[in-house]
């Protein structure tokens, strides 16, 4: 059984995309960057100890108790009524309570991820999470009892109760959970035990990772800055960073192995009790995507390894003057890559200009993130690595977190997260229960926004060396998004499958990691000693098992979608905005139909992958002209 929409991943638990290597140099001149914005969480609450924060908690608790007293055990009778006594009224009340809990959880989560090293914020996050779970105990019955109603009863109520009919898509999605739900007491036990189980190990991972330091050339650096050095222009610096990462990861391998073993077992227990056949079926269900569609994607990407990653890294090794690159050279900038720091204002103008060329409305929405302090950009101790966009609740607005260092990939990351933000603003009109887009399609707007920005910059670039550097960087980002994420998914499948036979040793997990990495990266990259530990820092394995294929899904989808846009005479923007506004109210087949696309068709994935191959072809042509 899924968690409530207002405490599940992406709503209460923040969506944390895989940290991209967003800079070639961690020593950007702060003056060159300009003034970097910090988000204003007072839009949600003045302070953690404010009267508004306390009152909302008390209000939510009282409303939840009253909701339970009024509706528990009465839904069968309510289905025969309309108005304030009908099921529609109950769903409205349920959604309204969720709005309050979502705001509380968002505030605590955002404050924590902005500075997880602060003990008071860790306590706020833990206490808020615990109290929301306690309050939700009074609401847990609702979806379970609603799903026990017969199909005839539900269909009849949808026809007679206009207020319930508004939630038709949510009801349809909820009914898909019916075969996997347990009795109320058992579901409540699973929910409450998650606080001392999965949630506790998630926090252990976060706090352990936040506290790690990596010694590079005599300096102790946090994870974000050390990862960024893997894109440094100097090979010696990249090697030093890679070895520092490996040394610290290895020292903490017992802890990370325990976390992985525990959460893999936790996932297996949940799946077994809830009647899921495949280890990833619960993720597929929450994503509203069929297993065979994900299998087709995985097979298409795996078959394309030689044409994509293997081929590209062989070319890159030649450009770097190497027969074989070490793993720390994978994200090295090309020799012709110009080194400069991009000021924040330039990054802002670049993204807004690209968005505006596609749609002025899209740029207007994105501009609000800058003008109204919805973005947190500086790097600081304790801040979450990587980047994310968090929707909060429909009555508020999304927030974006980036770690901006003024490099080209940082501009692409900003474009990516603002795509999420625009999507979340548009989908918010669907309300709390129906605004959340399944993860597979949640990456569509972000990758599309990134593509718009890249294409706009590429069109302005006439110098062959600069164009080659831009194309190479884009290909690497796409390989990281498609090839690397499918390899991550295959690694997870190996780990979770083997965990069913017993606890895994550190060496076993590391061997599984190395096997999928060797297959996906190809012979042009040498996976030297130390790299076997690099699985430890990927947060998705901990926070969102099997999430990672959503990136490949989104990238391939956008590649196909962008091809439609390039060939469309008119009307594309309207269709695109309709897709974003739909939120979670439509299945991917419905959303893609207006564009003539079908993700269930195996040829769909080949079409998306061919765009990456085309960019590699262009790089090869440029290389031959030199």
Concatenating the DSSP letter of every residue in 269-317 gives HHHHHTT-SSTTHHHHHHHT--HHHHHHHHHHHHHHGGGTHHHHHHHHH
Residue range 503-544, pLDDT digits in tens? 999 999 999 999 999 999 999 999 999 999 999 999 999 999
Could you give the 3-state DSSP secondary structure of residue 220?
A: strand
What pLDDT score was predicted for residue 626?
64
Where b means 16+ CB within 10 Å and e means fewer, 219-252 reads eebbbbbbbbbbbbeeeebbbbbbbbbbebbbeb
CA gap 269, 275 in Å, rounded: 10
Per DSSP, the residues of 41-87 read: GGGT-S-TTSHHHHHHHHHHHHHHHHHHHHHTT-HHHHTT--GGGSH
Judge whether residue 210 has pLDDT over 90.
no
Per the CB < 8 A criterion, the answer to whether 538 and 582 are in contact is: no
CA distances from 267 to 1, 272, 282, 572 (A): 12, 8, 9, 41
pLDDT over 70 (residue 14):
no
The Cα–Cα gap between 156 and 82 comes to: 11
Mean local confidence (pLDDT), 431-444: 88
Residues 578-615 as b or e (16 or more Cβ within 10 Å = b): ebbbbbbbbbbeebbeebebebeeeebbbebbbbbbeb
Residue 297 CB contacts under 8 Å (≥ 6 apart), including other chains: 486, 549, 552, 553, 556, 605
pLDDT number for residue 17: 34
CB 256 within 8 A of CB 246: no
Alpha-carbon dihedral sign for residues 19, 25, 30, 34: negative
Q: Which is more confident, 225 or 300?
A: 300
Cα separation, 332 vs 524, whole angstroms:
14
3-class SS of residue 447? helix
**What pLDDT, on a 0 to 100 scale, did the predictor assign at position 29?**
60
Nearest in space to 375 (alpha carbons), one of 340, 438, 408, 422 = 422
Based on C-alpha coordinates, what's the Rg of the chain?
24
Give the model confidence (pLDDT) of 392-401 as tens digits. 999 999 999 9
Q: pLDDT digit string (tens) for 550-559?
A: 889 989 999 9
pLDDT reported for residue 4: 42
Side-chain half-sphere of 227: how many Cα atoms within 13 Å?
18
Contact 412, 477 (CB under 8 A): yes
**Cα end-to-end span (Å), the chain:** 58
Right CATH number for 39-192 from 3.40.190.10, 1.20.140.70, 3.20.20.240, 2.60.40.10? Answer: 1.20.140.70
Position 440 pLDDT exceeds 90: no
Output the six-digit token pair for 568: 């469309």
As a whole number, the mean pLDDT across the chain is 91
> Which of the two residues, 504 and 386, has the higher pLDDT score?
504
Give me the pLDDT at residue 24, please.
Answer: 34
* DSSP letter string, 350-366: HHHHHHHHH-HHHHHHH
Q: Which helix (H) or strand (E) holds 256?
A: helix 253-273
- CA–CA dist 21, 428 (Å, integer): 31
Banded model confidence at residue 6, pLDDT cuts 50, 70, 90: very low
Nearest residue to 265 via CA among 491, 485, 504: 504
Q: CB-side exposure of 135: number of CA atoms within 13 Å?
A: 28
Distance CA 414, CA 436 (A): 21
* Stretch 242-264: mean pLDDT: 98
Picking from 539, 598, 16, the residue whose alpha carbon sits closest to that of residue 297 is: 598
419 near 445, Cβ under 8 Å? yes
Q: Which of 448, 437, 440 lies closest to 548 in space, CA to CA?
A: 440
Q: How many CB atoms lie within 10 A of CB 26?
A: 22
Q: Is the pLDDT of residue 589 over 50?
A: yes
Tell me the pLDDT band of 382, cut-offs 50, 70 and 90: confident
pLDDT of residue 7: 41
Indicate the pairing of strand 219-221 with strand 214-216: antiparallel
Angle at 88 between CA 84 and CA 94, to 5 degrees: 95
What is the DSSP secondary-structure string of 106-154? HHHHHHHHH-TT-HHHHHHHHHHHHHHHHHHTTTHHHHHHHHHS-HHHH
Region 474-492: mean pLDDT is 95
> What are the tens digits of pLDDT across the range 18-67?
333 333 334 446 688 999 999 999 999 999 999 999 999 999 999 999 99
Q: Which of 334, 330, 324, 331 is nearest to 526 (CA)?
A: 324
Instruction: Decide the pairing of beta strands 325-326 and 525-526.
Output: parallel
Q: According to the model, what pLDDT value does residue 127 have?
A: 95
C-beta of residue 359 within 8 angstroms of C-beta of residue 200? no
Pairing of strands 399-401, 388-390: antiparallel
Per-residue pLDDT at 43? 96
Nearest residue to 504 via CA among 211, 195, 262:
262
How much is the pLDDT for 446? 92
Contact 463, 3 (CB under 8 A): no
Q: Tokens standing for 108?
A: 């605590």
- Phi and psi torsions of 352, nearest 5°: -65, -35
Determine the average pLDDT of the residues in 613-617.
94
As a three-state string, the secondary structure of 144-203 is: HHHHHCCHHHHHHHHHHCHHHHCCHHHHHHHHCCHHHCCCHHHHHHHHHHCCCCHHHHHH
E strand or H helix that includes residue 375: strand 375-376
Please write the tens of the pLDDT for every residue from 290-327: 999 999 999 999 999 999 999 999 999 999 999 999 99
**Residue ranges per structural domain of the chain:** 39-192
pLDDT band at 2 (very low <50, low <70, confident <90, very high): very low
């Amino acid at each position: 059984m899924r968690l409530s929409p207002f405490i599940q991943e992406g709503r209460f638990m923040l969506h944390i995309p895989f940290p991209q290597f967003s800079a070639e140099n961690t020593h950007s001149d702060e003056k060159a960057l300009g003034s970097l914005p910090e988000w204003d969480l007072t839009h949600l609450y003045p302070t953690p100890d404010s009267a508004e924060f306390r009152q909302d908690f008390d209000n939510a608790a009282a409303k939840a108790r009253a909701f339970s007293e009024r509706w528990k055990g009465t839904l069968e009778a309510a289905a025969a009524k309309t108005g304030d006594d009908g099921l529609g009224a109950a769903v409205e009340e349920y959604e309204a309570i969720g709005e309050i809990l979502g705001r509380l959880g968002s505030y605590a989560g955002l404050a924590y991820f902005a500075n997880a090293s602060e003990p008071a914020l860790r306590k706020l996050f833990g206490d808020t999470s615990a109290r929301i779970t306690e309050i939700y105990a009074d609401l847990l019955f609702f979806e379970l009892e609603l799903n026990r109603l017969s199909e005839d009863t539900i269909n009849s109520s949808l026809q007679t109760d206009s207020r319930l009919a508004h939630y038709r898509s949510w009801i349809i999605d909820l009914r898909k959970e019916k075969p996997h739900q347990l009795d109320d007491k058992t579901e409540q036990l699973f929910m409450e035990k998650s606080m001392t189980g999965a949630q506790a190990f998630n926090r252990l991972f976060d706090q352990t990772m936040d506290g790690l330091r990596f010694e590079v050339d005599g300096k102790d650096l946090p994870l974000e800055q050390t990862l960024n050095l893997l894109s440094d222009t100097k090979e010696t610096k990249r090697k030093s960073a890679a070895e520092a990462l490996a040394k610290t990861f290895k020292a903490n391998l017992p802890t990370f192995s325990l976390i992985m073993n525990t959460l893999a077992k936790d996932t297996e227990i949940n799946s077994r009790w809830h009647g899921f056949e495949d280890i990833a079926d619960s993720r597929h269900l929450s994503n509203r995507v069929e297993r065979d569609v994900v299998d087709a994607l995985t097979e298409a990407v795996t078959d394309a390894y030689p044409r994509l990653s293997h081929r590209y890294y062989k070319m890159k090794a030649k450009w770097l003057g190497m027969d074989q690159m070490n793993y720390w050279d994978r994200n090295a900038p090309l020799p012709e890559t110009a080194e400069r720091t991009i000021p924040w204002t330039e990054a802002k103008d670049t993204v807004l200009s690209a968005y505006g060329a596609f749609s002025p409305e899209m740029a207007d929405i994105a501009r609000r993130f800058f003008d109204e302090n919805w973005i947190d950009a500086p790097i600081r101790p304790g801040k979450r690595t990587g980047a994310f966009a968090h929707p909060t609740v429909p009555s508020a607005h999304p927030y974006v977190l980036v770690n901006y260092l003024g490099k080209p990939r940082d501009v692409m990351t900003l474009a990516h997260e603002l795509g999420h933000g625009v999507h979340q603003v548009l989908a918010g009109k669907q309300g709390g229960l129906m605004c959340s887009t399944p993860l597979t399609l949640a990456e569509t707007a972000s990758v599309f926004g990134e593509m718009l920005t890249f294409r706009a910059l590429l069109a302005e670039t006439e110098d062959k060396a600069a164009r080659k550097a831009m194309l190479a960087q884009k290909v690497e980002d796409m390989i990281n998004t498609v090839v690397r994420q499918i390899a991550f998914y295959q690694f997870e499948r190996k780990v979770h499958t083997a965990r069913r036979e017993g606890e895994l040793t550190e060496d076993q997990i590391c061997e599984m990691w190395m096997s999928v990495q060797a297959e996906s990266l190809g012979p042009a990259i040498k996976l030297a000693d130390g790299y076997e530990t690099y699985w430890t820092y990927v947060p998705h394995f901990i926070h969102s098992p099997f999430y990672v294929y959503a990136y490949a899904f989104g990238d391939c989808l956008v590649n196909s979608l962008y091809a439609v846009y390039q060939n469309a005479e008119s009307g594309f923007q309207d269709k695109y905005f309709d897709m974003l506004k739909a939120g979670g109210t439509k299945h991917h087949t419905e959303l893609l139909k207006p564009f003539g696309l079908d993700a269930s068709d195996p040829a769909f994935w080949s079409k998306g992958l061919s765009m990456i191959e085309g960019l590699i072809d262009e790089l090869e042509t440029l290389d031959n002209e030199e």
